[in-house]
Amino acid sequence: MTIGATTGDHGYDRATAVKEFDESKIGVKGLVDSGATTIPPFFIHPPETLTNSTPSTRSTAPPASDLIPVVDLTGVDSDRRSRIVEQIRYASKEFGFFHVINHGVPSDVINRTIEAIRAFNEQPTEVKSQHYTREMGRGVSFSTNFDLFKSKAASWRDTIQMRLGPVPPDFEHIPEIFRREVLEWDQHVRRVGEVLMEILSEGLGVTPERLKELSCLEGRLMAAHYYPFCPQPDLTLGITPHTDPGVLTMLLQNHIGGLQVKYGDEWLEAKPVPDALVINIGDILQMISNDEYKSVEHRVLANPHRESRISIAIFLNPGKREDLYGPLPELTSPEKPALFQHFTLIECMKRFFTKELDGKSMVNFFRL
């Protein structure tokens, strides 16, 4: 298949090439399966967006993955709790990212969830393409890049998006190949998410139930990303640098690395930790916390390995879309006034989904 046709003397017609690719419904996995040895031009990123896209090998620096904190949740309801609260508070303020281990999710649940997403993506193209759509009316969609038609350059990944709460999709609309596994995983996310929301609330010095009272566990959206082998990984990215718009993100990833977190001017590798969940602060939580917690830019490199990288993010958001949110009154004072205007979830999500993924524009937009 020749995705990326030219238009005679006028040269490369990007809009036509993108439209042809999307209408083919084959995804980037389909390009790989067809034997592509180069990537279509609309996947090529300008050099300035690919800076530091090779992990550092400087021997004088500590291993980058060692900088992203790993928090052991063992004894979260014991006298260890205050230590866990402090570790998560520090990680949320300094890095915006941390791993949690001993979170109570069995290894077999993690492995089954990852394998179910792999199985969906590795079906024959003619089977998988039946689900390819950009419409979320049924609560489930499958496509390449939600911002494909808005971005300056496409990224090398295919994604299943699925609304999990407050209202899940109709059962029969969820592809059977991952239906049971994803719904089971959502139950674990809600349990671990409730623990983390309490810990994060305590870290802010407010009551443990504060974030839960704001319905921050009720809105849940899954984005399950599949990053197949890329024949020219130095020319593109898996996901461009961005921050997550919601309250909290809980991520499963398989053993193929590629996730990087911005720390100052450096990109740190968030190397996979066996059976760990990767947790990161979203824009809404940075604003609710009045800048105490930080949502930070992160990206995923294009996958140079023959084995695919799989990650499954669940974004935890407020469930009350029309309520007003803003800095918690308990965190503001004449000495530290509110740093953000009030906003609704509808305003946030409309802004996020009507533009390409790019940096921290959400937090900057609502900053006073």
Q: How high is the pLDDT of residue 63?
A: 46
Distance from C-alpha of 65 to C-alpha of 55, rounded to nearest angstrom: 10
pLDDT of residue 244: 94
Helix/strand/coil (H, E, C) string of the chain? CCCCCECHHHCECHHHHHHHHHHHCCHHHHHHHCCCCCCCHHHCCCHHHHCCCCCCCCCCCCCHHHHCCEEECCCCCCCCHHHHHHHHHHHHHHCCEEEEECCCCCHHHHHHHHHHHHHHHCCCHHHHHHHEECCCCCCEEEECCCCCCCCCCCCCCEEEEEEEECCCCCHHHCCHHHHHHHHHHHHHHHHHHHHHHHHHHHHCCCCCCHHHHCCCCCEEEEEEEEECCCCCHHHCEEEEEECCCCCEEEEEECCCCCEEEEECCEEEECCCCCCCEEEEECHHHHHHCCCCCCCCCEEEECCCCCCCEEEEEEEEECCCCCCEECCCHHHCCCCCCCCECCEEHHHHHHHHHCCCCCECHHHHHHEC
pLDDT of residue 360: 62
What pLDDT is attached to residue 322?
A: 83
Residue 313, token pair as written in the block: 């993010």
Please list, in sequence order, all residues whose beta carbon lies within 8 angstroms of the beta carbon of residue 48, skipping any fewer than 6 positions away. Answer: none
Residue-range domain boundaries for the chain: 63-366
Rounded Cα distance, 225 and 142, in Å: 10
List C-alpha distances in Å: 352 to 162, 203, 225, 301.
17, 28, 18, 22
Predicted local confidence at residue 209, as pLDDT? 97
C-alpha separations of 114 from 23, 27, 270, 307 in Å: 27, 19, 18, 13
CATH topology of domain 63-366: Jelly Rolls (2.60.120)
* Per-residue model confidence (pLDDT) at position 357: 58
pLDDT in tens, 3-35: 544 433 357 899 999 999 999 999 999 999 999
Q: How far apart are the first and last CA of the chain?
A: 50
User: Which among 291, 260, 292, 303 has a CA at the least distance from the CA of 278?
Assistant: 260
pLDDT cut 70: percent of the chain above it: 90
Q: Which residues of the chain have pLDDT under 50?
A: 1-2, 4-9, 55-65
Q: Give the pLDDT of residue 1.
A: 46
Q: Whole-prediction pTM value?
A: 0.92
Residue pLDDT, tens place only, 201-248 = 999 999 999 999 999 999 999 999 999 999 999 999 999 999 999 999
For residues 32 and 1, what is the distance between their CA atoms, to the nearest angstrom? 11
CB contact at 8 A, 230 and 303: yes
Q: How far apart are CA 111 and CA 151, in angstroms?
A: 33
